[in-house]
Amino acid sequence: MIQVRALTKSIDTGTHRVDILKGIDLEIPKGQFAAIMGPSGSGKSTLLGLLAGLDSPTTGQVLLDGEDITHLTEDEMATLRGRKIGFVFQSYHLIPTLTAEENVLLPMELAGRSDLGRARELLDRVGLKDRFDHHPVQLSGGEQQRVALARAFALKPPILLADEPTGNLDSATGGVVLDLLRAMNREQGATMVLVTHEKALADSADRCIVMHDGLVVSQ
């Protein structure tokens, strides 16, 4: 379960202060697929980043399965992410100097559970059986995002967070990626939170959280 209590986030740009999140309260039960929608600048990506512990809130709390992650150190958060959270970025963010296989293997190696067989199985699952030893520069955008999906599922995380995973893809490719995402998540049974602009995708979610101007306006 993901719980958010009175969460705010502000940043100081030097000349003025920007309030990105102005007080979010939220609960996402275990196993639920929640979509977060809203116009650009509404704070969707920031909220997702805070749920993953990639940033620190200004005030408020984020609890994952009852554990308050807000005051964990960077290293404690990294360990938690390795154990509990799979993350898919809009811009894929693969390691450019590693092959597809090595990118998927990396989180397992960091967690001390190196398993080449699983890495290959995941790549096969996302349709990249012939791309194991390709570097990101040798892959198309859609292929890179599929590698990123495989990486996100490498450690069978109980929570999957995806930040506009099809934002940089054409609609056809994006459709393929989304189908894979949903299928793999059904297989794993993870709690999924997905930031998206696409209404169709949001409609297919168990729940749609709409944000506007740093606040949740409906859920």
Partner 1 sequence: MTQLPWSTSARIAWRELRAARTRFVFVILAVAVGVGSLTGVRGFSHSFRRMLLREARTLMAGDMTARVFALPDAQQLQVLHELEQQGIVRTWITETVTMASSASTPDPLLISVKAVDPKAYPFYGVVKLNPPKPLREALDAQSVVVSDDLLIRLKVKVGDKLHIGGQDYAIAGVVVSEPDRMTGSLNVGPRVMITREGLDRTGLITVGSRAAERYLFRLPATGGPSIETVRAILKAAFPEATIADYQETHPIITRGLDRATTFLSLIGLIALVIGAMGVGSAMHGHLQQKLDSIAVMKCIGARSEQIIRIYTVQTLMLGLSGGLLGAVIGVAVAAAFPGMIAKYFSIDARNAWDAWPAVQGIAISCLVTLLFTLPPLWSIRTIRPAEIFRRDSGPQTPQSRKWSLLIRGAILLGTALVAATLTEGSMLDALRTGVIFAVGLGIGLTLLVLAAWLFLRSLRGALRKAPKNLPGAIRYGMSNLYRPGNQAQAAVVALGVGVMFTLTVFLVQQALVNQIRGSAPRGMPNVFLLDIPGPQRQAVADLIQAQPGVTSAPEVAFSVAAKIVSIDGAPIDQFAVGDAGRRFLRTRSVTEMAAKPPETDILKGSWWKAGDPTPQVCAAEETAQVLKLHPGAVIEWNIWNHTVRTRVACVERTESVRMTARFEFLFSPGQLANFPSVFYGSARVRPPDVPGVQRVVYEKFPTVTVVNIADVMQIVEDVVQRIAMVIRFISAFTILAGAVMVASSIAGTRFRRMREVVILKTIGATRQSIAWIFTVEFLALGTVAGLMGSLLAAAFTALILKRLLEIEFHVDWVAHVGTVGIAALVAAGAGWAASFRVLGRKPLEILREE
CB of 7 vs partner 1, minimal distance in Å: 15
CB of 122 vs partner 1, minimal distance in Å: 14
Of 137 and 172, which CB lies nearer to partner 1 in the complex structure? 137
CB of 82 vs partner 1, minimal distance in Å: 2
Helix axes 100-110, 141-152, angle to 10 degrees: 20
Of 46 and 191, which CB lies nearer to partner 1 in the complex structure? 46
Of 74 and 203, which CB lies nearer to partner 1 in the complex structure? 74
CB of 102 vs partner 1, minimal distance in Å: 6
Residues that bind partner 1 (CB under 8 A): 11-13, 45-46, 49, 52, 54-55, 74-75, 78-79, 81-83, 87, 89, 93-98, 102, 106-107, 109-112, 114, 137, 151, 155
Of 19 and 102, which CB lies nearer to partner 1 in the complex structure? 102
